[in-house]
Chains A and B, each alone.
Chain A
């Protein structure tokens, strides 16, 4: 075996890339994981994780220099002082927005597994059957029963805390003990259940924060600083979970600073033989060879790599024969919600900072519920007491004002919706060859927007949020509906969708590229529809399932 030859290549080291590396190495494959950015070593490189609030000169905020340096990231909360180093540079890696698309990226080992929101929900059959029933896009090639055992497998290793709520729309998983709802959340949940006669539920979030020790990881310490990197390894990330498992096999090589520019396609065997890598530090080009390639570069970048590959065979790149590569870009649309004041419970508070909230699973268009749009939305939220940042109308300045602010204010309940976005062929990414990034590589152009179905859904998200909080007895309910743009959900999906027919999909039921059977794409790009649940758990399950299939197929010389 030459120095650049492995059994498997994994492109990307985020949530799905880490899983691919773990599964493939544990099954004995010598694997190289290629990451375009720098290395971040578990714990050691979480430089801000143990800082107190006062150690940040701008207390976590943003300076004018940061605003200038990050023209995209500044559009939303990710631009901040405390984990700035975890976000990709907008200037080094620009992209073209045919329509506004807020693309927030993590270019380093671990990818966005370091900064993710950790909410982890199974999909149900209603989600996998949705496209077929609605007659839109294409049917998923799998159903719940195909992925259910892999959900269990992923949950058991990742460590998902949650309650077995017994809901058809949100199947129970193999959970660690749940985090607790606080006293007000429990009261709201009960009132909602009563008001809607059990047709709506409010449950504790299911989150990839471990609540009991697991695989040499310490259980959550309730600091709520997850996105700085956890020194306890208490939330699932590549660094805390999949990478150590993969390294322990002795079969993994990790190569940071490795931008995969194309998959090397062999016309004779009709398979990939490896990848071309541009070293991001030296600008040298290298080739790596392997029997199988897992593409886990994140939805938009995985499409970019495929579109750059095998262009001598297919003008649109590897996987483009269906005409769907780069198309059907989805996200979850959000920024719509409601909040208000909850009276009473003045003798109650909480201890600890729970990096989790409540979840209201989808109810729209289910059971007897019928809407002027298809699909649905869920809400995430929480109840807490106001702190020092509240206004006290009757006090201005001075000792009484200060002392009043040192006590907690009234309880507030707030929540925001996460809505399903449909797969529209015309929502797409393409290569923009007129524009180059820092390394002289063509950038992507993103052309996607919310359409009528999502816009109608947002009106319902706002109205239902208000109605539910009011039904639960929340006072002074205010709603918000902001920035109806894609991308800010940071749940990009769909650019290389799975399907049943090579004419209408890029991947088959095992996440294999129809046009190159030894290439597997198992990140968000594989998603045929978006549902409204946070998607990462599904990527984990799909990746483990595909890796298992790939190794079996390899053994049988099928690929």
Chain B
């Protein structure tokens, strides 16, 4: 893989270009400096995003997204890397998600149990998939796609994600292009 293709490949998550648009590969859209539309480092927001992340990628036989401090990671990424417009969508998405929970179960997301959370986020993911499918480039991004993307990126590139959920060897030392694989073996982290 040459460097150009390798980077391009990383620029895709969930089969599409990463939100934040200019995260890995740039379009040429003008950007206003992101001053930060909200403080996403507040403990209650971090805790909320931790639970969203953990619902998307829960602990199974390996650690889940919370173990990778996913709430904190999402806050950093949204604040530093998202355009102001995307930051606003993300922030509003936190209350939208709560509202969706209220509507479905009559309680906020944090009060819902694990099964309900999974049910809710499954529905939201179906919603964002349907929306993204027909979305024009200039249409706003869907907040749940942001949360899912950031959860995947943050978890699988974290230490627990890369070394426990996946396999990671810092210095392979050799290359074998005919390495045996059997179902259940983990993928390489990078």
> Mask for A141-179, Cβ within 8 A of B = 1, else 0?
000000000000000000000000000000000000001
Q: Indicate if the CB atoms of A59 and B2 lie closer than 8 Å.
A: no
Instruction: Report the interface size class on chain A.
Output: 35 or more
- Is B38's beta carbon under 8 Å from chain A? no
Q: Are A388 and B152 also in contact (CB < 8 A) when A352-B175, A407-B183 are?
A: yes
Q: Which A residue's beta carbon lies closest to that of B7?
A: A77
Q: Which B residue's beta carbon lies closest to that of A414?
A: B5
Bound-state Cα–Cα, A181 to B28, Å: 36
CB neighbours of A12 from chain B (8 A): none
Bound-state Cα–Cα, A222 to B177, Å: 12
Bound-state Cα–Cα, A53 to B166, Å: 13
Which of A61, A68, A352, A403 is B23 in contact with, Cβ under 8 Å?
A61
Bound-state Cα–Cα, A349 to B16, Å: 24
CB neighbours of A68 from chain B (8 A): 31, 33
Q: Which A residue's beta carbon lies closest to that of B11?
A: A77
Bound-state Cα–Cα, A402 to B76, Å: 23
The dominant DSSP class at the A interface is: loop
Q: Which A residue's beta carbon lies closest to that of B16?
A: A391
Bound-state Cα–Cα, A63 to B20, Å: 9
Q: Indicate if the CB atoms of A222 and B174 lie closer than 8 Å.
A: yes
Q: Indicate if the CB atoms of B31 and A349 lie closer than 8 Å.
A: no
Which of A347, A402, A408 is B58 in contact with, Cβ under 8 Å?
A402
Q: Indicate if the CB atoms of A75 and B28 lie closer than 8 Å.
A: yes
Q: Are A349 and B81 also in contact (CB < 8 A) when A75-B26, A221-B173, A402-B60 are?
A: no
* CB proximity of B82 to chain A, nearest CB, Å: 7
Q: Indicate if the CB atoms of A381 and B176 lie closer than 8 Å.
A: no
Which of B55, B57, B58, B176 is A350 in contact with, Cβ under 8 Å?
B176
Which of B8, B18, B165 is A77 in contact with, Cβ under 8 Å?
B8
Which residues of chain A from 236 to 289 have a CB within 8 Å of any chain B CB?
none
Which of B61, B182, B186 is A347 in contact with, Cβ under 8 Å?
B182
- Is A367's beta carbon under 8 Å from chain B? no
Q: Indicate if the CB atoms of A334 and B125 lie closer than 8 Å.
A: no
Question: 9 tightest CB-CB pairs across the interface, nearest first?
Answer: A182-B177, A391-B15, A352-B172, A352-B175, A349-B181, A396-B125, A64-B34, A382-B1, A408-B187
Write the residues of chain A forming the contact surface with B, with a CB cutoff of 8 angstroms: 50, 52-54, 57-65, 67-68, 74-77, 79-80, 117, 119, 179-183, 185-186, 205, 221-224, 226-227, 334, 337, 346-357, 380-382, 384-385, 387-391, 396-399, 401-403, 405-409, 414-416
